Amino acid sequence: MEEGQLRQLEEMCSSVYSTTEAAERRRLEESLSGFSTSLELIPQIKFVLEHSQSPYAIHFVTSGLLKLLVNRWNSFSVQLRIEIKNHLLNFLGSQGPNLPPFVINAVLQLLTRLIKLAWFDDSSYHEIVEYIAKFLKVSPKHCLLGLRFLVAFVNEISQLTPGILITDHRKIANSFRDKNLQDIFKISLSTLSELFQSNQLSDTKESSELKNESLELALSCLSFDFLGTNPDDTSDEIGITHIPDSWKNLFVDNFNTPQLFFSIYSASPPPLSSKSLQCLSSIISIRKSLWSPQSRELFLTHFLQAISNILQNRQGMGEIWNFHEMCKLLPSIVSNYHLSSLIALPVYQSWIQHVANFTVDSLSQKKWRVNSLYYLMQFWCLILKSNRYLSKDLASFADVLAPQIFQAFVSSRIQAAEGTEGEGEEGEEEEEEGYRQFFD
């Protein structure tokens, strides 16, 4: 491809994204369709990536190559796949920090999909994390780009990919889990520790972006489909975090990892604080078999005490997303740990009282919607259900606190009915529907 041809291509790609005429857009897309149908144009795609300054041209040829890759995967030789992978990695390292987000996303989607499809082709695909880790030390912009790649990489491997059999997906996901995932999670932890303990880039846009992406990476790792069962991502049902035994040193007899997220919560505004609570929800949902009885008691004591401190001081609870994530976190505790093991903790009585006070206060405030309060009521349903099977010598305090919760709930519904009487608001009817199941 010559320079004149490149300029013409850039103009056509720009017109594809900017024209308001549907017929003109179709004509241009048909003229450029070869980038998504012909392997013979791959050298031209490489030329565009190397020489073009147009984000529209880069985005168009990258998206076209992704379609070509997916639709004609078997036509790509093992060597060609490796060459494209290396070319994209070099492109990210040299041009990535200066690209707009929509172009970066397209390149990352192409690269991570290629790596997943070719995972068992060559061992070089298993060394991608080591290569990307070098980005983190070059500059803040390279660090942000590296973190974004790792987030996209983890999510791509964890999710089912169209065209890949479920058995092949599981093999790839399990191999990635065993070879790379723990190293990626450790990168997120070390980056977070460095960002929150260092005064460099403090309170700047760059710092906020790095912190946000590091938290997003930690959350993606903790939310990974460890068992390859591919649960529904849209489901809010409480699940277990099935981390492997090799992750033990990050959690067992060591509260540093969860303490890092509690510290981030205390030091940050939303969305950083709410994402740290999401990470803590995944941590408290880690399978119980990872701990011995003694280490489990120590872990739960520290965890419940930290939650009590937040609820007692209402720290960050005025923020809607912090409140929502806290409401989701609480039932995760009771769902994963039997009530009898919680009662045995020295901090249980103060913790359950703080949760009760938090619930009563929350129900009395009209600003909280049912999608958050639903989880609070779910917490108390789980407490009361578990209370039935306790031996008589164990005091859960449910018999004392439950009437207070019920009274606060009834009062809140009466106030809501009085406040909307005659207004016929549909939203209030939907809230009532959401609460009915708790009385079944």
Give residue 389's pLDDT band: very low, low, confident or very high (50, 70, 90). confident
> Of 56-65, 248-257, 397-406, which one has max mean pLDDT?
56-65
Nearest to 301 by CA among 263, 335, 259: 259
**What's the pLDDT at 252?**
85
**What's the pLDDT at 419?**
65
- pLDDT over 50 at 283, yes or no: yes
- pLDDT over 80 at 372, yes or no: yes
Give residue 238's pLDDT band: very low, low, confident or very high (50, 70, 90). very low
What is the token pair recorded at 337? 């740990």
- pLDDT over 80 at 395, yes or no: no
- pLDDT over 90 at 2, yes or no: no
**What's the pLDDT at 228?**
75
Lowest model confidence (mean pLDDT) among 19-23, 93-97, 432-436: 432-436
> Over the chain, what HEC string results?
CCHHHHHHHHHHHHHHHHCCCHHHHHHHHHHCHHHHCCHHHHHHHHHHHHHCCCHHHHHHHHHHHHHHHHHCHHHCCHHHHHHHHHHHHHHHHHHHHHCCHHHHHHHHHHHHHHHHHCCCCCHHHHHHHHHHHHHHHCCHHHHHHHHHHHHHHHHHHHCCCCCCCHHHHHHHHHHHHHHHHHHHHHHHHHHHHHHHHCCCCCCCHHHHHHHHHHHHHHHHHHCCCCCCCCCCCCCCCCCCECCCHHHHHHCCCCCHHHHHHHHHHHHCCCCHHHHHHHHHHHHHCECHHHCCHHHHHHHHHHHHHHHHHHHHHCCCCCCHHHHHHHHHHHHHHHHHCCHHHHHCCCCHHHHHHHHHHHHHHHHCCCCCCHHHHHHHHHHHHHHHHHHCCCCCCCCCCHHHHHHHHHHHHHHHHHHHHHHHCCCCCHHHHHHHHHHHHHHC
**What's the pLDDT at 416?**
74
Give residue 199's pLDDT band: very low, low, confident or very high (50, 70, 90). low
Average pLDDT over every residue of 323-333: 96
- pLDDT over 90 at 303, yes or no: yes
pLDDT in tens, 116-137: 999 999 999 999 999 999 999 9
Report how far residue 400's alpha carbon sits from residue 407's, in angstroms, rounded to the nearest whole number.
Answer: 12
pLDDT in tens, 76-94: 999 999 999 999 999 999 9
Average pLDDT over every residue of 64-74: 95
Average pLDDT, the chain: 89
pTM of the full predicted structure?
0.91
Lowest model confidence (mean pLDDT) among 255-259, 333-337, 390-394, 397-401: 390-394
**What's the pLDDT at 307?**
98
Average pLDDT over every residue of 369-374: 83
Report how far residue 273's alpha carbon sits from residue 82's, in angstroms, rounded to the nearest whole number.
Answer: 40
Give residue 237's pLDDT band: very low, low, confident or very high (50, 70, 90). very low
Distance, CA of 267 to chain centre: 20
**What's the pLDDT at 430?**
52
